[in-house]
Amino acid sequence: MRIRTRMTDAAAGAVAAATDMPARAGRPSAAAALDEVRRVYRDLDARPVERRCELRTQCCHFKLTGKTPHLTRGEALLAARALRATGRKSLPSRGDGACPLLDPQSARCLIYEDRPFGCRTHFCAAAGGPYARREVIDLIRRLEEIDEQLGGDGPRTLPAAISSEL
Protein backbone atom coordinates (compact mmCIF):
# COMPACT_ATOMS: atom_id res chain seq x y z
CA MET A 1 0.00 0.00 0.00
CA ARG A 2 1.40 3.37 -0.94
CA ILE A 3 0.72 6.46 1.07
CA ARG A 4 -0.24 9.23 -1.29
CA THR A 5 -0.58 12.84 -0.34
CA ARG A 6 -0.96 16.01 -2.34
CA MET A 7 0.43 18.96 -0.50
CA THR A 8 1.85 22.27 -1.53
CA ASP A 9 5.49 22.91 -0.73
CA ALA A 10 4.40 25.36 1.97
CA ALA A 11 2.09 22.79 3.60
CA ALA A 12 4.78 20.11 3.45
CA GLY A 13 7.20 22.52 5.08
CA ALA A 14 4.69 23.31 7.82
CA VAL A 15 4.19 19.60 8.54
CA ALA A 16 7.94 19.06 8.56
CA ALA A 17 8.44 21.95 10.99
CA ALA A 18 5.66 20.69 13.27
CA THR A 19 7.10 17.18 13.37
CA ASP A 20 10.82 17.95 13.16
CA MET A 21 10.89 15.78 10.06
CA PRO A 22 12.37 17.05 6.80
CA ALA A 23 10.01 17.27 3.85
CA ARG A 24 11.39 15.25 0.95
CA ALA A 25 10.09 14.68 -2.51
CA GLY A 26 8.66 11.20 -3.05
CA ARG A 27 8.14 10.55 0.65
CA PRO A 28 4.89 10.83 2.55
CA SER A 29 4.40 13.70 4.93
CA ALA A 30 4.76 12.86 8.58
CA ALA A 31 1.03 13.52 9.02
CA ALA A 32 0.15 11.01 6.30
CA ALA A 33 2.54 8.45 7.78
CA LEU A 34 1.04 8.88 11.25
CA ASP A 35 -2.44 8.46 9.80
CA GLU A 36 -1.36 5.24 8.11
CA VAL A 37 0.18 3.89 11.34
CA ARG A 38 -3.10 4.64 13.12
CA ARG A 39 -4.96 2.79 10.33
CA VAL A 40 -2.75 -0.25 10.92
CA TYR A 41 -3.61 -0.08 14.63
CA ARG A 42 -7.34 0.22 13.87
CA ASP A 43 -7.13 -2.71 11.46
CA LEU A 44 -5.48 -4.77 14.20
CA ASP A 45 -8.22 -3.81 16.65
CA ALA A 46 -10.82 -4.97 14.12
CA ARG A 47 -9.32 -8.48 13.89
CA PRO A 48 -11.50 -11.22 15.36
CA VAL A 49 -8.72 -12.34 17.71
CA GLU A 50 -9.88 -12.04 21.31
CA ARG A 51 -7.61 -9.80 23.36
CA ARG A 52 -8.46 -8.27 26.68
CA CYS A 53 -5.76 -6.15 28.26
CA GLU A 54 -6.34 -6.19 32.01
CA LEU A 55 -3.74 -3.47 32.61
CA ARG A 56 -1.64 -5.72 34.83
CA THR A 57 1.49 -4.19 33.26
CA GLN A 58 3.52 -7.40 33.54
CA CYS A 59 4.34 -7.19 29.84
CA CYS A 60 5.65 -3.65 30.43
CA HIS A 61 8.47 -4.96 32.61
CA PHE A 62 11.04 -5.68 29.92
CA LYS A 63 13.73 -6.85 32.33
CA LEU A 64 11.39 -9.47 33.80
CA THR A 65 10.00 -10.71 30.49
CA GLY A 66 13.24 -10.46 28.54
CA LYS A 67 11.23 -8.90 25.69
CA THR A 68 11.36 -5.32 24.47
CA PRO A 69 9.06 -4.11 21.69
CA HIS A 70 10.71 -2.91 18.50
CA LEU A 71 9.26 0.09 16.66
CA THR A 72 9.43 1.20 13.08
CA ARG A 73 10.04 4.88 12.37
CA GLY A 74 6.34 5.61 11.83
CA GLU A 75 5.47 4.03 15.17
CA ALA A 76 8.29 5.92 16.88
CA LEU A 77 7.06 9.22 15.40
CA LEU A 78 3.54 8.53 16.66
CA ALA A 79 4.77 7.50 20.11
CA ALA A 80 7.06 10.55 20.36
CA ARG A 81 4.20 12.86 19.38
CA ALA A 82 1.94 11.22 22.00
CA LEU A 83 4.65 11.55 24.64
CA ARG A 84 5.19 15.24 23.80
CA ALA A 85 1.41 15.72 24.18
CA THR A 86 1.83 14.72 27.85
CA GLY A 87 4.18 17.68 28.28
CA ARG A 88 7.35 15.60 28.26
CA LYS A 89 10.33 16.43 26.07
CA SER A 90 12.35 13.30 26.75
CA LEU A 91 11.74 9.66 27.50
CA PRO A 92 11.44 9.11 31.27
CA SER A 93 14.23 6.98 32.69
CA ARG A 94 13.45 3.83 34.62
CA GLY A 95 16.07 2.02 36.67
CA ASP A 96 13.90 -1.03 37.25
CA GLY A 97 13.90 -2.38 33.70
CA ALA A 98 10.28 -1.41 33.05
CA CYS A 99 9.08 0.37 29.93
CA PRO A 100 9.92 4.07 30.16
CA LEU A 101 6.35 4.83 29.09
CA LEU A 102 4.91 3.08 32.16
CA ASP A 103 4.09 5.76 34.71
CA PRO A 104 5.49 4.61 38.07
CA GLN A 105 2.78 6.41 40.07
CA SER A 106 -0.32 5.29 38.15
CA ALA A 107 1.10 2.05 36.66
CA ARG A 108 -0.51 3.11 33.35
CA CYS A 109 1.00 3.64 29.93
CA LEU A 110 1.62 7.32 29.22
CA ILE A 111 0.62 6.84 25.57
CA TYR A 112 -1.83 3.92 25.79
CA GLU A 113 -4.03 5.05 22.86
CA ASP A 114 -0.95 5.39 20.63
CA ARG A 115 1.03 2.46 22.07
CA PRO A 116 3.19 0.60 19.55
CA PHE A 117 2.21 -2.49 17.56
CA GLY A 118 4.40 -4.74 19.72
CA CYS A 119 2.52 -3.62 22.82
CA ARG A 120 -0.79 -4.37 21.07
CA THR A 121 0.25 -7.85 19.95
CA HIS A 122 2.26 -8.62 23.05
CA PHE A 123 3.06 -11.76 24.88
CA CYS A 124 0.90 -11.23 27.97
CA ALA A 125 -0.81 -14.51 28.88
CA ALA A 126 -3.49 -12.68 30.88
CA ALA A 127 -4.58 -10.80 27.74
CA GLY A 128 -4.71 -13.92 25.59
CA GLY A 129 -1.04 -14.54 24.78
CA PRO A 130 0.87 -13.38 21.74
CA TYR A 131 -0.61 -13.05 18.29
CA ALA A 132 0.68 -15.65 15.87
CA ARG A 133 2.91 -13.93 13.30
CA ARG A 134 0.78 -15.31 10.47
CA GLU A 135 -2.22 -13.46 11.93
CA VAL A 136 -0.55 -10.07 11.65
CA ILE A 137 2.17 -10.37 8.99
CA ASP A 138 0.19 -8.17 6.60
CA LEU A 139 0.11 -5.40 9.20
CA ILE A 140 3.81 -5.84 9.98
CA ARG A 141 4.58 -5.43 6.29
CA ARG A 142 2.53 -2.25 6.13
CA LEU A 143 4.49 -0.82 9.07
CA GLU A 144 7.75 -1.83 7.38
CA GLU A 145 6.66 -0.11 4.18
CA ILE A 146 5.88 3.08 6.09
CA ASP A 147 9.29 2.80 7.75
CA GLU A 148 10.98 2.53 4.37
CA GLN A 149 9.00 5.46 2.95
CA LEU A 150 10.05 7.59 5.92
CA GLY A 151 13.69 6.71 5.41
CA GLY A 152 13.82 4.50 8.51
CA ASP A 153 16.32 1.72 8.86
CA GLY A 154 14.08 -0.98 10.28
CA PRO A 155 12.64 -1.64 13.72
CA ARG A 156 14.59 -0.51 16.76
CA THR A 157 14.06 -1.06 20.46
CA LEU A 158 11.35 1.10 22.00
CA PRO A 159 13.67 3.36 24.03
CA ALA A 160 16.07 3.98 21.13
CA ALA A 161 13.34 4.45 18.54
CA ILE A 162 11.30 6.95 20.55
CA SER A 163 14.31 8.86 21.88
CA SER A 164 15.56 9.43 18.35
CA GLU A 165 12.24 11.05 17.36
CA LEU A 166 11.88 13.34 20.39
Give the H/E segment covering residue 71.
Answer: strand 70-71
pTM: 0.79
Tens of each residue's pLDDT in the chain, 166 residues: 333 333 334 333 333 443 444 545 566 788 999 999 999 999 998 987 776 777 778 889 898 888 899 999 999 999 999 999 999 999 999 999 999 999 999 999 999 999 999 998 876 766 666 778 888 999 999 999 999 999 999 999 999 999 999 9
Q: At a CB cut-off of 8 Å and minimum separation 6, what does 120 contact?
A: 41, 44, 45, 51
- What Cα–Cα distance (Å) separates residue 8 from each residue in 5, 30, 31, 32, 146? 10, 14, 14, 14, 21
| 26: nearest Cα among 148, 155, 165 | 148
Domain residue ranges of the chain, discontinuous segments joined by +? 9-165
